[in-house]
């Protein structure tokens, strides 16, 4: 049983009193109690912990990959990263963006799931993984999307690229426009498939950010990524993401492989309301990319938790103001504060509010007033601006004059 601070204080006081050689009570107590009772009592005091022990974060796993990240998307926290911003060939991880562009065009209404897409000779002749569409036929957009996501079809990717943009080259430019709008800083696409090409690269960090946007922007479209098998043209192919069979919490995302890229995998899992995204690039085999991804996901779910200590537009701090029509101003956060912290350490968070000691009206609603910093054991976990939750107009002329005189007096005295 854990003894609280009050019990500890009482125990220490008794220990100091009874352990003092000059204490007049010592002789009487010893005479009334047996030595064994005294020893048991003192032993009980010594066993009372003075403070609650902090829970350590387990050491991160060793991951055999050219580059990797572990990302918590709700708070936007990269829990682990290695060479996260190194530009590498993405292989079929490219198709995450191909799929994202298709989902965006569906939302815009430029295409529909029922549209029939003509299959060109170029699409039909694609190398590598294929959906096995036939040149000269027409295939529904709905089927081609499954062919891209589940079967990783290069033929399906080129067919959709040509249907949306006219040519695969024009579609690649469209992919790059979407990449810039999302904020991917180290990504450039030359094709829709991920087959080796000049100036075709991305990073582990950018892939995690792209996956986050895919999940948040198009949840119904993203649901296709957990499909384990898809059949087209009487050919059934299984999803190459082995984690879909090994871990029920995994619901995506995409595999990739070329000789230059190695074996790559973007994974996403949801457990007890917490989502994690892992990216591994340049592993040695299909098994290795699954195993290394499992290491990252297991570490993240075991070691961290997501909390929301503050909600948007709720009072966090209140302070007196000068020369205003009201005496105080309430401050809070403009947006919800979501944090990823070591599991079991939420109660150890310390907060520090930094606001000017003298605040004068007028004040606009939403005006930045200061900052809120949250730390654990001195390590910064979050820092957010504090904003005014309401506007404060200037007070009357006599109030402002009196406050001005008073502040000048304080200034002179200090």
Of 67, 95, 120, 190, the active-site residue reads 95
Give the burial class of 61: count Cβ atoms within 10 A of its Cβ; 0-12 exposed, 13-18 middle, 19 or more buried: middle
Cβ burial 91-127 (10 Å sphere, 16+ → b, else e): bbbbbbbbbbbbbbbbeeeebeeeeebebbeebbebe
119/121 Cα distance (integer angstroms): 7
- Does residue 92 have an active-site annotation? yes
List the one residue out of 76, 78, 90, 149 whose CA is nearest residue 296: 78
Q: E strand or H helix at 306, and its extent? A: strand 304-310
Q: What span, in angstroms and rounded, lies between the C-alpha atoms of 281 and 315?
A: 44
Closest CA to 364 of 329, 398, 400: 329
List C-alpha distances in Å: 256 to 10, 220, 307: 64, 23, 33
Annotated catalytic residue 152: yes
DSSP codes of every residue in 184-236: -SS-B-S-SS--S-TT-BB-HHHHHHHHHHHHHH-HHHHGGGG--EEEETTEE
Q: Hey, is 110 helix, strand or coil?
A: coil
> Phi/psi at 39 (nearest 5 deg)?
-65, -40
- Are 368 and 387 in contact by the 8 Å Cβ rule? The answer is yes
Contacts of 110 (CB under 8 A, 6+ apart): 164
Could you tell me if 278 and 234 are in contact, meaning their C-beta atoms sit under 8 angstroms apart?
no
Of the candidates 75, 120, 129, 152, the residue annotated as catalytic is: 152
CA atoms of 97 and 30, how far apart (whole Å): 80
Q: Which of 67, 92, 120, 267 is catalytic?
A: 92
- Cα separation, 255 vs 37, in Å, equals 68
Q: For residue 253, is the peptide bond before it cis, meaning its omega torsion is within 30 degrees of 0?
A: yes
Active site residues: 92, 95, 152
């Amino acid at each position: 049983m854990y003894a609280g601070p009050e019990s500890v204080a009482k125990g220490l006081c008794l220990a100091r009193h009874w352990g003092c050689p000059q204490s007049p009570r010592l002789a009487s107590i010893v005479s009334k109690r047996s030595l064994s009772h005294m020893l048991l009592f003192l032993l009980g005091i010594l066993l009372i912990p003075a403070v609650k022990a902090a829970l350590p974060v387990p050491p991160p796993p060793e991951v055999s990959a050219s580059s990797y990240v572990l990302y918590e998307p709700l708070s936007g926290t990269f829990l682990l990263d290695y060479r996260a911003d190194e530009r590498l060939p993405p292989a079929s991880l490219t198709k995450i963006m191909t799929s994202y562009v298709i989902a965006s065009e569906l939302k815009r209404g430029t295409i529909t799931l029922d549209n029939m897409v003509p299959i060109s000779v170029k699409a039909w002749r694609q190398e590598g993984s294929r959906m096995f569409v036939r040149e000269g036929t027409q295939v529904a957009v709905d089927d081609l999307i499954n062919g891209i996501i589940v079967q990783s079809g290069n033929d399906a990717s080129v067919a959709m690229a040509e249907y949306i943009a006219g040519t695969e080259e024009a579609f690649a430019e469209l992919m790059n426009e979407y990449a810039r709008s999302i904020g991917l800083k180290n990504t450039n696409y030359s094709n829709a498939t991920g087959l080796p090409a000049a100036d075709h690269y991305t990073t582990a960090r950018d892939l995690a950010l792209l996956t986050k946007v895919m999940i948040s922007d198009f949840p119904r479209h993203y649901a296709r990524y957990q499909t384990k098998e898809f059949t087209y043209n009487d050919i059934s192919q299984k999803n190459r993401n082995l984690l879909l069979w090994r871990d029920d919490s995994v619901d995506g995302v995409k595999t990739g492989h070329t000789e230059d890229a190695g074996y790559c995998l973007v994974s996403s899992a949801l457990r007890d309301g917490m989502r994690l995204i892992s990216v591994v690039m340049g592993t040695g085999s299909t098994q290795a990319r699954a195993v290394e991804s499992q290491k990252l996901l297991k570490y993240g779910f075991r070691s961290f938790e997501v909390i929301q200590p503050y909600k948007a537009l709720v009072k966090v701090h209140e302070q007196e103001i000068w020369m205003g029509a009201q005496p105080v101003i309430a401050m809070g956060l403009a947006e919800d504060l979501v944090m990823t912290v070591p599991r079991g350490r939420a109660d150890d968070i310390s907060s520090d509010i930094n606001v000017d000691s003298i605040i004068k009206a007028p004040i606009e609603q939403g005006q930045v007033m200061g900052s809120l910093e949250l730390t654990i054991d001195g390590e910064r976990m979050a820092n957010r601006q504090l904003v005014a939750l309401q506007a404060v107009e200037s007070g009357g002329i006599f109030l402002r004059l009196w406050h001005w005189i008073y502040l000048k007096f304080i200034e002179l005295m200090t």
